[in-house]
């Protein structure tokens, strides 16, 4: 069974902290994505990667960075967490050539206090 695993289900952090969200997929997918999901705003793309060491900005990259050192792992970094980054963060992956057919993790609910 295909799997995208996000390291934490719930996370509470303080304003100004550096936050790492980890995502691992076991499907040998080339593409990986980070979204945030907020009520009334839907899913918004933060960053994506089509290959190891490669990253591209999505629609809302400000305040975030990413790292993809291995094909199966894609990390989202909040350099200095702020309260407006309180959200549900979803990692997804897909095969090259079936890019839109996303497989999502269960999400990390991040609260920044």
Tell which one of 21, 25, 31, 81 touches other proteins (CB under 8 A): 31
**What tokens were used for 3?**
């799997």
If you count them, how many residues does the chain have? 113
Coil, helix or strand at residue 85:
helix
The two three-digit tokens of residue 72, written as one number:
């199966």
Q: Of 14 and 45, which CB lies nearer to other proteins in the complex structure?
A: 45
Q: Which is nearer to other proteins, 20 or 95 (CB)?
A: 95
Q: Is residue 48 close enough to count as binding other proteins by CB under 8 A? A: yes
Q: In DSSP terms, which residues pair with 64 in a beta bridge? A: 78
Stretch of residues binding other proteins (CB under 8 A), selected from 14-22, 61-69, 71-79, 88-96 = 88-96
Report if residue 105 touches other proteins, rule: CB under 8 A. Answer: yes
Relative to beta strand 108-112, strand 10-13 is: parallel
Candidates 3, 18, 70, 101; binder of other proteins (CB under 8 A) is 101
């Amino acid at each position: 069974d295909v799997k995208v695993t996000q390291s934490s289900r719930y996370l509470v952090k303080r304003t100004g902290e550096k936050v790492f969200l980890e995502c691992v997929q076991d499907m040998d997918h080339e593409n990986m994505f980070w979204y945030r999901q907020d009520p009334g705003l839907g899913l918004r793309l933060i960053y994506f990667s089509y290959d190891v060491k490669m990253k591209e900005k999505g629609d809302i990259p400000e305040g975030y960075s990413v790292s993809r050192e291995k094909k199966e792992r894609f990390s989202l970094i909040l350099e200095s967490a702020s309260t407006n980054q309180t959200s549900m963060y979803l990692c997804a992956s897909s095969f090259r050539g079936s890019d839109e057919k996303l497989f999502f993790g269960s999400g990390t609910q991040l609260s920044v206090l």
